[in-house]
Chain A
């Protein structure tokens, strides 16, 4: 399997860099410095995005143009096609839906379970808190691929094979430690005065958490949620092993299973098209939520 940089994560990194540049560059500067800066930015972009651009290019080239030597970098009108996308067929939408469902549910469950746990660990003085944290940390250190043989037995015993739950439960569990650790440190930074103030205003515990604490937690929830979603969207081994019925497959499996008419033919065009289609939802997701992350929503709560 080719290991590529994840386009969605790249997008996130770039947006962050660009925002930082925009805010730190003073309006008037020596031009040469700015030129150097932008050349640097362009080179970085090219270096990181090249594999992605290559996939996009391949997905739009005709089969002869893909296999042509010398390589066609800028295809002319005859060498462009969108047939690869149509060749994927309607069942590909089904795979996207599967991926979306599995990723969304595990993200939501992960946040719904992780956030209260993180809050409890941050705010309550639980005896043995350090031990609990250490265990959480150790769990996050397991290489998850090693777990999969054991999990396979569990999935078989529980009769969860060919069921979305076989993916949702492990994805949630694998991402819980990180979610708890990130959210806990976020909760610790939240000013405690706000919660005290809410108590004095008369909020009961649960409404206070939902109406006062939760709205301020959104940036952290979005950040950890996106990480969980990307993991679940891209996960391969579990999805390959626990799901065998094709109508339940997720995108990475569907892409990997694309085959030509014979074993000697690799359908580069359709694979590239499937990769692009499978990545677009992630990129859109990050673009959509990125503003939420950058926004400091606690600004103005307490004197800074």
Chain B
């Protein structure tokens, strides 16, 4: 019904301050798009452009076929949840939730009914007469959410809504958010720097860096097919290992060991290899290990152990995940790389060079 389109959005503050360079995105009904990136990548600025709080230098914001680029934020029928919640401190919870409806001259009886439905859904019934100052962080967050839901807007915008909650509550609210927005069937744009939120909530993730979209894909594909070194390193924890290797005759050299380079990569003298710690494993007794090395550090996470291995006769270090029940030889550990799980990146541009990885 209302698809959100961003066309060539650009925001320039000063000749060399361009938080958003050229971003085009489409979010369909019921799609949950997450803008993921490190701080300063332009994700919040982009959201403000969509909301109309800032005017783009050029480009368009289109909702359901209507160009809203020059509409003030109040006329866009978008609801936004702020990181700081931004509740009006002098109004009760009920007044906070209904402020936008009163401005739009919705009938009093309908306002009452809508507040009832939303507060029922979010468990705010007993808090309606309180001021925000008397609420806990989690409750304030719900009020901010209720304020967005009650409007029944065409598009939802969320700016790091979970980052002010403590870790336990965050997990719980994350689940609730997922259920709530699944039921809404409206385009949702969600800004976060937290990859877990991005992976669990979204149907699509846009990874941003320096005001450009690095990759736009479903979360699983972002994980399995990172488009470049930045995305590969930003998504996934523990972080992917990167090795800058010399190539010879389609073999990449790590010290005395060599790893076959797929033919589609072509002949090059240098290449970057990326492998996630969970895609490395200890070699079985009858297997030829990819390389051997010495263990320099063991971090125990309970569920697994993160082991740092220094490849024999080099300074190269690789981190790998080993199940807690497995044992290994500290001095001479034998490691296997699954060839299919290796990501190859161009050593100059950082772009992915293999088209597919199983």
* Contact residues, A195-209 vs B (CB, 8 A): 196-204, 207
Residues of A close to B135: CB separation below 8 A: 300
Chain A residues near B88: list those with CB within 8 A. Answer: 194, 197-198, 212, 301
Which of chain B's residues have a CB closer than 8 A to the CB of A51?
none
| Complex: chain A residue closest to B74, CB-CB | A202
Q: Is B24 an interface residue (CB 8 A)?
A: no
CB distance from B149 to the nearest CB of A (A): 13
Q: Does A193 contact B (CB under 8 A)?
A: yes
Q: Which of B98-106, B198-206, B323-331 contacts A (4 or more CB under 8 A)?
A: B98-106
Q: CA A298 – CA B140 in complex, angstroms?
A: 14
Residue of A nearest to B77 (CB): A202
Residues of B whose CB lies within 8 Å of any CB of A are 48, 51-53, 72-76, 78-80, 82-90, 99-100, 103-104, 131-135, 137, 140, 147, 164
CB of A40 within 8 Å of the partner chain? no
In the assembled complex, A299 has its CB within 8 A of some CB on chain B:
yes
Chain A residues with CB under 8 A of B134: 300
Which among B74, B75, B132 is the interface contact of A301 at CB below 8 angstroms?
B132
B residues near A299, Cβ cutoff 8 Å: 89, 133
The one of B51, B76, B85 in contact with A302, judged by C-beta atoms closer than 8 angstroms, is: B85
Assuming the contacts A193-B82, A202-B74, asked whether A300 and B87 have C-beta atoms less than 8 A apart, the reply is yes
Other than the known A199-B73, A303-B164, what 19 A-B pairs have Cβ atoms closer than 8 Å?
A193-B83, A194-B86, A196-B51, A197-B80, A199-B72, A199-B74, A200-B51, A200-B52, A200-B76, A200-B78, A200-B79, A200-B100, A202-B103, A202-B104, A203-B103, A297-B89, A297-B90, A300-B134, A301-B87
CA of A196 to CA of B140 in the docked complex: distance in angstroms? 17
B200 to chain A, nearest CB (A): 23
Of all chain B residues, the one with the shortest Cβ separation from A298 is B89
CB-defined A-B contacts under 8 Å, sample of 22: A196-B51, A196-B73, A196-B80, A196-B82, A197-B80, A198-B88, A200-B74, A200-B78, A201-B74, A203-B74, A215-B90, A216-B89, A297-B90, A298-B89, A300-B89, A300-B132, A301-B84, A301-B89, A301-B132, A302-B84, A302-B85, A303-B164
Q: Does A191 contact B (CB under 8 A)?
A: yes
CA of A194 to CA of B126 in the docked complex: distance in angstroms? 24
What residues on A are CB-neighbors of B131 within 8 Å? 300
* Cβ-neighbour of B85 out of A199, A202, A215, A303 (below 8 A): A303
Chain B residues lying within 8 Å of A303, measured Cβ to Cβ, are 84-85, 137, 140, 164
Residues of chain B within 8 A of A202, CB atoms compared: 74-75, 100, 103-104
How close is B326's CB to chain A, nearest CB, in angstroms? 44
A197 to chain B, nearest CB (A): 4
Q: How far apart are the CA atoms of A303 and B88 in the complex, in Å?
A: 12
Given the complex of chains A and B, what is the CA–CA distance between A254 and B133 in angstroms?
48
- Option from B53, B84, B89, B133 in Cβ contact (under 8 Å) with A199: B53
A298 to B53, CA, bound (A): 23
Closest 8 CB pairs of A and B: A300-B133, A202-B74, A302-B84, A300-B132, A197-B86, A193-B86, A201-B100, A301-B89
Q: Which residue of A lies closest to B48 (CB)?
A: A196
Q: Residues of A within 8 Å of B, CB-based: how many?
A: 23
Q: Which of B80, B87, B137, B140 contacts A200 (CB 8 A)?
A: B80
Chain B CB count within 10 A is highest, among A201, A202, A300, A301, for A201
CB-CB < 8 A to A212: which residues of B? Answer: 88
For B87, the closest partner residue in chain A by CB is A301
A303 to chain B, nearest CB (A): 4
Kindly supply a per-residue 1/0 record for chain A positions 163-176, scoring 1 wherever the CB is within 8 Å of any chain B CB and 0 otherwise.
00000000000000
User: What is the minimal beta-carbon distance from B265 to any residue of chain A, in angstroms?
Assistant: 48
Closest to B88 in A: A212
Inter-subunit contact B74/A197 (CB<8 Å):
no
Q: Mark A265-304, 1 if CB is under 8 A from B, else 0.
A: 0000000000000000000000000000000011111110
Q: Which residues in window 209-225 of A have CB below 8 A to B? A: 212, 215-216
Interface centre among B76, B99, B131 (most CB of A within 10 A): B99
Q: Which of A196, A200, A303 has the most CB of B within 10 A?
A: A200
Q: B165 — nearest CB in chain A belongs to which residue?
A: A303
Say yes or no: A200 contacts B89, CB within 8 Å: no
Residue of B nearest to A214 (CB): B90
Q: How far is the CA of A145 from the CA of B224 in the complex (A)?
A: 77
The interface residues of chain A lying within 8 Å CB-to-CB of B104 are 202
Select which of B74, B84, B89, B100 is within 8 A of A204 by beta carbon.
B74
Chain B residues with CB under 8 Å of A297's CB are 89-90
User: In the complex the two chains form, what is the Cα distance from A198 to B91 in whole Å?
Assistant: 13
How far does the alpha carbon of A153 sit from the alpha carbon of B206 in the complex, in Å? 70
CA distance A191 to B80 in the complex (A): 16
A199 neighbours in B (Cβ, 8 Å) = 52-53, 72-74
Contacts of A193 in B (CB 8 A): 82-84, 86
* Most chain B CB inside 10 Å of its own CB: which residue of A193, A207, A212, A297: A193
Q: Given the complex, which residues of A lie within 8 Å of B140, measured CB to CB?
A: 300, 303
Task: Give the residue among A216, A298, A301 with the most B Cβ atoms within 10 A.
Answer: A301
| Alpha-carbon gap, A192 to B83, bound state (A) | 12
Q: How far is the CA of A199 from the CA of B72 in the complex (A)?
A: 8
Contact at B99–A201, with CB atoms within 8 Å? yes
Inter-chain CA distance A204–B86, complex, in Å, is 17
**Smallest CB separation, A123 vs chain B (Å):** 13
CB neighbours of B74 from chain A (8 A): 199-204
Closest A residue to B134 using CB positions: A300
A203 to B79, CA, bound (A): 13
